[in-house]
Amino acid sequence: MELSDRDLALVSAIGDGLPLVERPYLAIGEAVGMSEVEVIARIQAMKEAGIIRRFGIIVRHHELGFRANAMSVWDIPDDKVSEIGRRLGDSPEVTLCYRRPRRLPDWPYNLFCMVHGRDRPGVEQAITDLIQRHGLDGHGHAVLFSTRRFKQTGARYGRRKAAE
């Protein structure tokens, strides 16, 4: 799906979230010069095209009680990383899972999983369970807990067109 200028105006208008009113799509439409029907149709189309991964509440996980988060990384041979990545991605403990490039010599790891939990021991236990269940002993591994969060705004889109 190719986004039109009208789509981009809408993207910008909903990027910070919907107004919390009875008819939020009408309010958004008034701000960007569209009818409520058009706003609804365009948001639906973006959702069906997968441009919107999901539509609803975005929580602040820290405020919700998920005080610990670790980036758990492994160095997996390139011919095995996809299969192991799919298995880890299917595990309930894992909230995000990606293959990324190594950056030698500083960074030898190519498989990245995020594990969130209420406290540090819980996250450590979840990672130990993952290693056992998926037979990951023997692969290079590191766990990077976060110590401070500086910023969590989410990606912002649609301002390029708005600025032109």
Partner 1 sequence: MDDIDRRIINTFQGGFPIVERPFAAAARILGLDEADLIARVKALSEAGTISRFGPMWHAEKMGGGLTLTAMKVPEDRFDEVAAIVNSFPEVAHNYAREHALNMWFVVATERPGRIREVLDEIEARTGLAVHDMPKIEEFFVGLRFEA
Query: Per CB under 8 A, which of residues 45..84 are in contact with partner 1?
Result: 46-47, 49-61, 63-66, 69, 71, 81-82
- Taking CB under 8 A as the binding criterion, the range among 10-18, 121-129, 133-141 that sits at the site for partner 1 is 10-18
- Confirm or reject binding of residue 162 to partner 1 (CB under 8 A): no
**What are the tokens at 37?**
């029907």
> What type of residue sits at position 147?
T
Verify binding: residue 32, partner 1, rule CB under 8 A: no
Long-range contacts of 123-129 (CB under 8 A, 24+ apart): 123/68, 123/69, 123/70, 124/70, 126/93, 127/70, 127/72, 127/93, 129/93
Rank residues 33 and 150 by Cβ distance to partner 1 and give the closer one: 150
Distance CA 83, CA 60 (A): 31
99 binds partner 1 (CB under 8 A): yes
The reply on whether position 98 binds partner 1 by CB under 8 A is yes
Shortest distance, position 36 Cβ to partner 1, whole Å: 6
Q: Answer yes or no whether residue 116 interacts with partner 1 by CB under 8 A.
A: yes
Torsion angle in degrees (nearest 10) through CA of 27, 155, 70, 112: 130
- Measured distance CA(88)–CA(139) in Å, rounded: 14
Position 33 contacts partner 1 (CB under 8 A): no
Touching partner 1, residues 134-153 (CB under 8 A): 142, 144-153
Q: Is 105 in the site for partner 1 (CB under 8 A)?
A: no
